[in-house]
Chain A
Amino acid sequence: MQRRDFLRVVGTGAAVVAVYPSMIGQTLYAEDGRLYKAYEKVQLVDSEGKPVKASSLEKEKTYIFNYPQVAVPCFLINLGESADSDVKLKSEDGVEYIWNGAIGKDHSIVAYTAICPHQLTHTNKEDSFMSYVPKGGTTMAYTEGGVIICASHLSAFDPKRGAKNLSGPAPQPLASIVLEHAKDDTIWAVAVLGQDKFHDYFKSFKSEFKEQFGGRREAKKFVSFSVPTVAISEYTKEVIAY
């Protein structure tokens, strides 16, 4: 490609994005190794519609919200201690990316999709075989607590390090939800980092989506403006952990 042609392509692309910022809502493989997919910026609110404040999140309590689509369950956890930052992770297909860390005053608030990348075990309104085991807790999936586990095939993920897969058959980390912490202490979801399994997920649970959301089409709708964020015990009837 000639230099002039290259500049024309880049210039046109920049102009399109400037006019239609939503065009950037696609997978980006940046030179620094990030795997990032932007969606509509959505505010986390409680069941009454009031903004969730970062400082009000109980330590090591698991909250659930749906993002970026109405049937995609996500964990929101205040780990109670600072998470690591700039953690290098690798997806199943070998793409490396960087997890930048947690938000909040103490850099302790994280969010991840509650869908296991192994066989798509996930949190739903009936039950949750995915859960966070607090520090000091025990699980068959790992040697210690402070981990997110999948009780189906006993995979464990490190929430302090971008939900890196620690043990079990999971081939990659949980996809993480990129959060923004505003000056007024509110929390916003803006993107998904890492390789998600949304395509397979939406193909695999037709009956469940029909029962819980009215159909697959409804389940795939994107959330907009704000999204309810509730304790996992309010979201699902039963949490199953081993």
Chain B
Amino acid sequence: MKKTMTLLVLVALSTSSFAVEEKERISDMKHMADGMGLIMNGLLYNYLDNINAGVKYIQDGVKSIHDKGDLKSYLPADTAYAYKFGEKSLNRIMEYSTELDEAMKAKDYDGALESASLLMRQCNSCHSRVRGW
């Protein structure tokens, strides 16, 4: 019995050591949300620096998530099974933020607005699934 309990505790400890803590997730999400805020502000006030900074914030956020290892360990335990959906969402976020950047460089403001709204939709898509709101 003692051996079994010890084994269970060891397994629990080793598993939890791989899981990303909530505060790290919040930090990444806050960074990306700040990026989204900068983009919205930049689009509203035609302020290119904010848009560029916002795109960088978001892409750094995606990179930070990838750097923490596989997404299965990153997501909250109850939605970890949907990690492929999460990976797809991150890829789309990179795509839309790159398209936004390219549209701004080409002075295609309608295209930039379209990319920003797709970016926002992708953020909401993932949050509605993973956070369940």
Q: Interface on A for B, CB 8 Å cutoff?
A: 119, 127, 129, 151-154, 169, 203-204, 206-208, 240, 242
- In the bound complex, what is the Cα–Cα distance between A132 and B74 (angstroms)? 29
Known contacts A127-B84, A129-B85, A207-B95; 10 additional CB pairs below 8 A are A127-B88, A129-B88, A152-B85, A152-B129, A153-B125, A153-B128, A154-B129, A206-B95, A207-B98, A240-B84
A206 touches B125 (CB 8 A): no
In the complex, the answer to whether A240 meets B85 with C-beta atoms within 8 Å is yes
| Cβ-neighbour of B121 out of A119, A127, A154, A207 (below 8 A) | A119
B24 interfacial contact with A, CB 8 Å: no
Secondary structure of the B side of the interface? helix
Query: When each residue 74-86 of chain B gets 1 if its CB lies under 8 Å from chain A and 0 otherwise, what string results?
Result: 0000000110110
Measured between alpha carbons, how far is A242 from B95 in the docked complex, in Å? 25
Nearest CB of chain B from residue A77's CB, rounded to whole Å: 23
B125 touches A119 (CB 8 A): yes
Interface flags for B17-32 (1: CB within 8 Å of A; 0: not) read 0000000000000000
> Quick one: closest B residue to A240, CB to CB?
B84
A154–B129 CA distance with the chains assembled, in angstroms? 9
Q: Which of B75-112 contact A (CB under 8 A)?
A: 81-82, 84-85, 88, 95, 98-99
Is B118 on the interface with A (CB-CB < 8 A)?
Answer: yes
Determine whether the beta carbon of A207 is less than 8 Å from that of B99: yes
Residue of A nearest to B124 (CB): A119
On chain B, which size bracket covers the interface? 10 to 19
Chain A: CB-nearest residue to B125:
A119
Q: Taking beta carbons and an 8 Å cutoff, which residues of B are in contact with A?
A: 81-82, 84-85, 88, 95, 98-99, 114, 118, 121, 125, 128-129
Given A206-B99, A207-B95, A207-B99, does the pair A151, B85 have CB atoms closer than 8 Å?
A: yes
Residues of B within 8 A of A208 (CB): 95
Chain B residue at smallest Cβ distance from A127: B88
Partner of A242, one of B82, B99, B121, B125: B82
Known: A204-B118, A207-B99. A152 touches B125 (CB 8 A): yes
**How long is the Cα–Cα vector from A132 to B95 in the complex, in angstroms?**
28
Q: List residues of chain B with CB within 8 A of the CB of A153.
A: 125, 128-129
Among A151, A169, A206, residue most surrounded by chain B Cβ atoms (within 10 Å):
A206
CA distance in complex: A153, B128 (Å): 8
Q: Which of B81, B114, B129 has the most CB of A within 10 A?
A: B129
Nearest to B81 among chain A residues (CB) is A242
Bound complex: CA A215 to CA B41 (Å): 31
Nearest CB to that of A154 among chain B residues?
B129
B13 CB to nearest A CB, Å: 29
| Chain B residue at minimal CB-CB distance from A208 | B95
Q: Which residues of B contact A207 (CB under 8 A)?
A: 95, 98-99
Neighbouring B residues of A152 by C-beta, 8 Å = 85, 125, 129
Residues of chain A within 8 A (CB-CB) of B114 are 203
Q: 5 tightest CB-CB pairs across the interface, nearest first?
A: A207-B95, A240-B84, A119-B125, A153-B129, A204-B118
